[in-house]
Structure 1
Amino acid sequence: MRERWGAVGVLAAALFVVNVAARLVIRFGFPDDDTVADRVTLAMFLAIGLILAVLAFRWGGERSAGRLIGDLAAAVGVALALTLFVGPLLVGRSPFVDGAGTFFAQIWLYLAATGAGVLVGYLTLTALGRDFRSRQLKRYAEQKAAKPRKVVRR
């Protein structure tokens, strides 16, 4: 159990570090350039989506869909909370300085990026037939085919 939640915690920390790195690049590298800030933010969302796509692909082969979704949802939830409330404080801003619209836009954009990443990773895994359920069905079919027929005497 500890190994499971340790991996989820490491994932949440990695997602948060990607966000903090993007915030620091924007804050110290390009404080007044909105165009560069938008590009860095887009790169951050792509990096987060890519991380989740890779992990959904890797974890999806060894975990059931319910467990996979639970683990990824827990990691994304913790990372989102840290991103919304702790991330701005690390660069010297308040989480609500830009208003409610920006605050909720961050939530929806983050959830869209993470959802797209998980979806791409898991659908790729499923299309290749390497997901947990497909492998279970393959093992079941092999076991049923390997059993000899029972001889019935009359």
Structure 2
Amino acid sequence: MKERWRAIGVLAAALFLVNVAARLVNRFVFPDDDTATDRITLLMFVVIGLILAVLAFRWGRDRPVGWWAADLTAAVAVALALTVFVGPLLVGESPFANGAGFFFAQIWLYLAATAAGVLVGFLTLTALGRDHRSQQLKRYAELKAAKPRKVVRR
């Protein structure tokens, strides 16, 4: 159980660090360039989606969907809370400085990027037939095919 929580914490920290890196680059390298800010934000969401796609692909092979989906959901929830409330404070802004619309847009975009990443990873894994459920069904089919038929005599 301790290793499971450690994995959730490490994933949440990694997702938050990607956001912090993007905020720091926006703040110090491109402070007044809106186009660069948009590109860096898009790159941040792509990186977050790729991290989650890789983890969904990797964890989906070994674990049932409920286990790894709960782990990813917990990590994303913690990372989202840190991103929305702590992230702006690290660059000298208030979480609500740009208004409620921007605050909630941040949340929806973050959730959309994470959901897209998880779906890409899991659907790729499922399409290849390497997910946990497919492997269980394959082992079951092989087991049933391997048993010889019993002959019933009357």
How many angstroms apart in 1 are the aligned matches of 2:6 and 2:145? 39
Determine the structure 1 residue equivalent to 2:43. 43
Determine the structure 1 residue equivalent to 2:116. 116
* Aligned positions of 1:4-153 closer than 5 A: 4-153=4-153
Q: Which runs of 4+ in 1 moved over 2 A?
A: none
Calculate the TM-score normalised by the size of structure 1: 0.98
Runs of 5+ unmatched residues, structure 2: none
Residue deviations 1:116-135 (CA, integer Å, cap 9, x gap): 00000000000000000000
SS in 2 for 1:86: helix
RMSD (CA atoms): 0.7
Displacement of 1:153 in angstroms is: 2.4
Displacement of 1:152 in angstroms is: 2.0
How many angstroms apart in 2 are the aligned matches of 1:64 and 1:105? 32
How many angstroms apart in 2 are the aligned matches of 1:78 and 1:28? 26
Runs of 5+ unmatched residues, structure 1: none
Residue 62 of structure 2 aligns with an amino acid whose one-letter code is E
Residue deviations 1:6-32 (CA, integer Å, cap 9, x gap): 111111100000000000000000111
Calculate the TM-score normalised by the size of structure 2: 0.98
Q: Percent identity?
A: 79
SS in 1 for 2:62: coil
